[in-house]
Every structure is written in structure tokens, then in C-alpha cells.
Amino acid sequence: MAFSVQRPSAPLGAEIKGVDLAQALDERTFQEIVAAWREHEVIFFRDQTLTPDQHLAVSRRFGELEHHVRQDCCRPGYPEIFVVSNVVENGRPIGSRDAGLFWHSDLCYKEEPSRGSLFYAREVPLENGKPRGDTMFASMTAAYDALPASMKKKLAGRFAINSYVHGYYRDRNSGPRRQLTAEQMSKTPDVAHPVVRVHPDTGRKCLFVNEGYTTRILGMEEKESDALLGELFAHLYKPEFLYRHQWRVGDFLIWDNCSTQHRAVPDYALPLRRVMERTTLTGAAVTAA
């Protein structure tokens, strides 16, 4: 299957044109798509019509899938499909209403963080014909490469704590969250990861701390760690490292959870509906740079 790759003027992100993901991909096309994903870190396909089973089938070509810790937010009958939505049906939210409102990478708080996520846009809020609820992406390879040599040296060999519980109770737009159950807490203990990680497939260095879940750099006083994290967060999300995706219904977008971070833009509310479905690849071993 011949396809073309179109790049926006951003350090990451590319549109793949000429692929129908509802059809089984031949191995060569699939490998070329994987190569484009590695190179551009975020890739997307417009105008896709996929059933939940087809979403799963495409996702499984990329690897094994997670069952999200919040099963209450998954599509009924599909424990691998995490729903991100502001819609409430029969008095019950159909998914997570405030997922990803801060910069993060998916499952960075696990021993083996997710390799990537595959996000399908079923309903996109439109206000006066303009899409709302964009997603921002930041390239962690571009951010690392742009660091001064003195900062690269300072970060080398450092580890930081990533905490699901910290992220879970952070800024919310739908009121306070339900307490996590003891079982959910036991599945998500805090974990230490290298501040700079080597990408498991490309070998590139990626900054692996984020605003949402990283709480502390180890081996430093709290004040010093807070100051360094603050300095890093001010760097990571500079406009020159970003791509902002404006969604259309039928978009299928794949992001890399090692070389990128993302954040949802909550600039819409009911009656404008947003329904997105995410599958999440299982993890890769973390290697320090």
C-alpha cells in the first residue's frame, strides 16, 4: 500500500495519507508506518472509520495492550479501550472526564512505562464550526537536544520519582475525584525513573520528567529538586518543541510515550460533546542515558 507523509511545521507530528486502517496492513506498509512513527514521534491518519474491534486490531499490530487501572472508564466489554469523554449517560460518565489536563506521558508511573498510545476521535466538540479540545504534544528528544551542555551534565545519572497518586489528585475540571481504592493504590506504587532515558527503539535521548506525575529528583534536598524540576518544566513545554493537534472526527493518532508528552486543552463544555478512545501499549524496559 503506497502512502505519503506530510509534516506540519513543528518538530514532531506527521500526517500519513493514503492508508485505510480498517483494512489489514501488509507487513511492508506496517513497517514503513512504524518507521514514520519513530521518526516523527506523533503520526495521524484522517477520515478513519473503525469499530472498537478494528481499533484493537490495529493497536495490536503495534504490540500488547494495557488494561487501564481505571476500568470504570473503559468501554463496556473492552478492558483495553480507555474512554476520554465529557459525556454523561444515565447519570454516569462514559469515560474519564478530566484525563490528561496536565503535561504527562501515559503510564510513566509504572516500572515499565507504556511505549505508545493510539487515540481515535469519535466525537469532536465544535463551536461555531471550530474544533475545540485540541491535544498538545511536546518532543522530549528536541527538548533534550536543546539543553545546554552544563544542564545535560547535571542531569546525567539522575533519577526522579513518578507518582500516579500525585497525578490522579491534581488539577481537575469535574470536581474532586473519587478516592482510589486500596487495590488501585497497590497497583500503582511510586516509581523512580532516569531523568534522561534512552529510547528503546531509536536510541535517542529523551527527557523523562513531566509536570503531572514527577514529584522529586532523588539525591537532592526538596527545595533544590523543586527548583530543578521547575527549570526543566519551563524548558520542556516551550513553543519550539510543540505540535498542537486539532481533532476531526475519524482521526486516528499514535503518540510515543518515551519521546513525547501530551496535554489535553479543556476549552469546551457540554452540550459540546467530546468522545475519544485510547488503547495503550504495554511497557518497555527503561534504560538510563
Cβ(282)–Cβ(65) below 8 Å = yes
CB closer to ligand SIN out of 210 and 225: 210
User: Within 21-85, where are the H helices?
Assistant: 27-40, 52-62
- The answer to whether 25 contacts ligand SIN (rule: CB under 6 A) is no
- Tell me which of 104, 132, 245, 274 is the catalytic residue: 104
107 is an interface residue for ligand SIN by CB under 6 A: no
HSE, side-chain direction, 13 A CA sphere, residue 256: 29
Catalytic (active site) residue 106: yes
DSSP per position, 220-273: S-HHHHHHHHHHHHHHHT-GGGEEEEPP-TT-EEEEETTTEEEEE-----TTS-
Q: Please say whether the beta carbons of 272 and 220 come within 8 A.
A: no
166 catalytically annotated:
no
Q: Which is nearer to ligand SIN, 205 or 262 (CB)?
A: 262
Estimate to the nearest angstrom the gap between the alpha carbon of 68 and the chain centroid: 13
- Over the window 132 to 171, marking each residue x when it contacts ligand SIN by CB under 6 A and - when it does not, the resulting string is ---x------------------------------------
What lies within 8 Å, CB to CB, of 52 at 6+ separation is: 75, 78, 81, 277
100 binds ligand SIN (CB under 6 A): yes
The Cα–Cα gap between 209 and 205 comes to: 13
Give least dist CB 96 to ligand SIN, A.
Answer: 8
Catalytic residue among 106, 158, 199, 263: 106
| Contact residue for ligand SIN among 276, 281, 286, 289 (CB under 6 A) | 276
Query: x/- string (CB under 6 A) for ligand SIN, residues 249-268?
Result: -------------x-x----
Closest contact distance (angstroms) between CB of 194 and ligand SIN is 22
Comparing CB distances to ligand SIN, the nearer of 204 and 278 is: 278
Q: In whole angstroms, what is the distance from residue 32 CA to residue 259 CA?
A: 19
Per the listing, cell 463544555 goes with: 269
Considering the candidates 158, 204, 216, 278, report the single residue annotated as catalytic.
Answer: 278
Q: Which residues bind ligand SIN (CB under 6 A)?
A: 84, 99-100, 135, 262, 264, 276, 278
Active centre residues (catalytic): 104, 106, 262, 278
